[in-house]
């Protein structure tokens, strides 16, 4: 690391410390940039390059982590949580949760208590699968040979939701994807719980054509964050909707398959199955 890089790193470290300490004041770009002695435009570019996210997004992540802690501990109402986090009101708290967590603050606080989830099990060419949906869309799909373990994993994500074993139209539409109705994926709405970064990665996965593969680095480049390959790998691994959101189409730059939450043998089988069918069309 040369002298300029050390200086840049020190400034970013100072900015991060400042944001973490004073996030309740919700400092703006100009204020933070002034704190480290840079112009707003230069600081914006430098911070994004080093931290992988913009200063505004980093402030949002810091704020919401504090708000999540308060809500999880049951220490405050939504109004008090917004106030304590430095937000102007519950409206901004709501927007923050929707944009970053994919759910309302009330849903987060209640652990999905007001959600009604239908789920069912089905057989596929690659083993048994659990598929679940809310009224808003598909929320979970995972390979599992053990129905109890599969249901427990669903409950871990939505611990207080009202779950009932009942097939519905959303589930059936998702399962029809295994019968080569490739166009159906564009018609399925998802109700996903994830950070803004995770949602961006999952959206990018949906753009990988059937029968084709890409790398973690390519995904990072597509979301304009080329240094975030490791973070992309984590987001890919956290994908809550197997197969339909095709995380199996992502491999290492060396050509190795890399990891897969539902097993490398299954990943290889899916890749081969898709390649064969893409070649037929």
CATH number, span 196-280: 1.10.10.10
Terminal alpha carbon distance of the chain: 51
Average pLDDT value for residue range 213-220: 92
* pLDDT at position 87 over 50: yes
Average pLDDT value for residue range 236-250: 91
* pLDDT at position 46 over 50: yes
Q: Convert 156-172 to b/e letters by CB count within 10 Å (16 or more is b).
A: ebbeebebeeeebebbe
More confident residue, 20 or 81: 20
pLDDT band, residue 40 (cuts 50/70/90): very high
pTM for this model (two decimals): 0.61
The CA distance from 71 to 112, in Å, is 13
What is the model's pLDDT at position 102?
60
* pLDDT at position 142 over 80: yes
Start-end of H helices in the chain = 3-22, 29-35, 40-51, 55-73, 78-84, 90-101, 105-109, 147-157, 169-175, 196-205, 216-222, 229-237, 264-280
The CA distance from 257 to 49, in Å, is 29
> Which of 44-48, 195-199, 224-228, 266-270 shows the highest mean pLDDT?
266-270
CATH number, span 116-187: 3.30.160.70
Mean pLDDT lowest for which of 88-92, 169-173, 223-227? 88-92
Show me where the domains of the chain are located: 3-109, 116-187, 196-280
What is the model's pLDDT at position 195?
74
Report pLDDT digits (tens) over 116-129: 899 999 999 899 99
Fold of 3-109: Arc Repressor Mutant, subunit A (1.10.10)
**Token pair for residue 191?**
């109700």
Catalytic residue among 139, 163, 190, 247: 247
- Please say if 139 is a catalytic residue: no
Question: Exposure of 256 by Cβ count < 10 A (0-12 exposed, 13-18 middle, 19+ buried)?
Answer: exposed
| Average pLDDT over all residues of the chain | 84
Report pLDDT digits (tens) over 146-162: 999 999 999 888 887 88
Report pLDDT digits (tens) over 52-63: 778 888 888 888
Same fold, 3-109 and 196-280: yes
């Amino acid at each position: 690391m040369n002298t300029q890089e050390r200086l840049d790193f020190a400034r970013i470290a100072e900015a991060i410390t400042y944001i973490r300490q004073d996030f309740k004041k919700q400092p703006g770009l100009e204020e933070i940039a002034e704190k480290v002695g840079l112009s707003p435009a230069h600081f914006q570019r430098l911070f994004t390059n080093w931290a992988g996210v913009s200063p505004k997004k980093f402030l949002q992540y810091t704020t919401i982590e504090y708000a999540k802690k308060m809500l999880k501990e049951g220490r405050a109402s939504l109004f008090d949580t917004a106030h304590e986090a430095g937000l102007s009101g519950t409206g901004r708290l709501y927007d923050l949760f929707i944009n970053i967590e994919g759910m309302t603050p009330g849903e987060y606080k209640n652990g999905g208590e007001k959600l009604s989830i239908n789920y069912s099990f089905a057989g596929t060419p690659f083993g048994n699968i659990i598929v679940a949906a809310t009224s808003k869309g598909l929320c979970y799909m995972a390979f599992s040979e053990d129905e109890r373990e599969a249901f427990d994993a669903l409950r871990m994500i939505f611990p207080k939701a009202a779950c009932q074993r009942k097939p519905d139209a959303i589930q059936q539409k998702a399962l029809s994807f295994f019968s080569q109705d490739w166009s159906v994926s564009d018609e399925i709405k998802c109700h996903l719980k994830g950070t803004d970064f995770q949602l961006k990665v999952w959206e990018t996965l949906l753009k990988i054509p059937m029968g084709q593969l890409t790398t973690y680095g390519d995904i990072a480049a597509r979301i304009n964050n080329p240094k975030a390959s490791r973070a992309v790998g984590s987001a890919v691994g956290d994908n809550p909707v197997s197969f339909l959101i095709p995380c199996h189409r992502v491999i290492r730059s060396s050509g190795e398959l890399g990891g897969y939450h539902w097993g490398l043998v299954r990943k290889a089988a899916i890749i081969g199955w898709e390649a064969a069918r893409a070649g037929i069309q």
